[in-house]
Structure 1
Amino acid sequence: MKRDGRGAPGAPPNRRGYLLHCSALALALTVPGLASAAAAKQAASAGPLILVLGDSLSAEYGLPRGQGWVALLEQRLAQQKRPQQLLNASISGDTTAGGRARLPALLQQRKPAIVIIELGGNDALRGLPLKSSEDNLLAMVKAAKAAGAKVLLLGMQLPPNYGASYGRDFAALYERVAQTEKVALVPFLLKGVADRPDAEAWFQADRIHPLARAHPQMLDNVWPALQPLL
């Protein structure tokens, strides 16, 4: 095999520099402080961060990766050459209490410029007290604002079988939180999906989680309220 005059075939042109690079990489991976500092520096240089804190509606439950509304939002930001980066911290099954517990660490570590909160649906499905859900949402909004982030709250509504009174009270808690804290609100994330005459055709077999075809509409519901915050 013919050599090119720079060393063994396939060897790096500058072996000493290559070894120094590997040593530095190994050190960063094994020393948490260096690794976190490097991650923070990289995040700072990548542009303002949008943090999405949600449940299965934002976590692509039952969908192929890349077809949920959060992934579509990331694609739209890239297409419009906007500088924002996106972190989807949504967990299927999460409640407002779970989001409240997780948010402080995310705020401290990632320092988002915008926080989108999409939680509360699982609270209602589990019959949790509405006052508790409202308190948790208020606490999350206040924490995000105290950390210097703008907030967008995504509201949810319940099917009629939960009762008209309970449904009204549930929808109203999002409006109260948004009004009290003066933050942006999307009243109903599933508008144009769950309220369609043929709504069943837009949901998975569980009749809770939308199909992929519904997620562009969900993004279109979010976009007008998010755009002024960018």
Structure 2
Amino acid sequence: MARPNSSPKASISPQKKNSSSPREADFDIQQELSRLQEVIYESFHIPVSRWTIIDEDKVLEQLEFIGTKIPEAIRKALQVLEQKQEILANAEAYAQRIIQQAQEEAAEILDESGIIQQAQHEANQIRQQVQSECEAIQAQTMAEIEQQRQMANGEVEQIYRKSVSEAQQIQEGADEYADAVLTRLEQELGEMLGVVRNGRQQLYNHSAQRQTNNSGKQLSEG
């Protein structure tokens, strides 16, 4: 099959074939397109013309291989992106369990003091803030997944190159976010427990003072 040789090797940089691993084991669309380009560039060029004799079977075989692998690449990319929602949901559930446990412990310690109202108010604020942030990130994640699905119809190559790195960044960002939320929660709970300890100490001091005063009165009356 003869085709005009209209441009030099510029659009796709050819890459050497990696004979150590099968093509099916690690599909790379850029590498497969480079192989297709190599088939064209290595074909016989008719001198003093713009025509090249191309092995049509090799070209069709390479195109068929790329066509069968692209849907799988898209599925894997979207599967990685969809894992963001599960990571965020787990982080939110974990944060809510921590908040609930802190509320229960604070209620047991502070049920005799007015500080319990302040502790509950702060815990509710933390829970609402965490829930709001998680819902915002979840909505953004769903929007990004939908955008990636729409782009898959016309921009398969671009999605495959970017989806893996974006998914890794999202996973790292989710881990960092969860760690930051839990760190902030730990600090706030530590401050809350400090307030509780101070309140109990004051109650203890007042009780001891009252006992001392009562003992003095009894001695004076006796």
> Which structure has the larger Rg over C-alpha atoms?
2
Q: Comparing both structures, which one devotes a greater share of its residues to strand?
A: 1
| Structure with more contact order per residue of length (Cα contacts < 8 Å, sep ≥ 6) | 2
Q: TM-score, normalised by structure 2?
A: 0.20
> Could you state the TM-score of these two structures normalised by the residue count of structure 1?
0.19
Greater share of helix residues, 1 or 2? 2
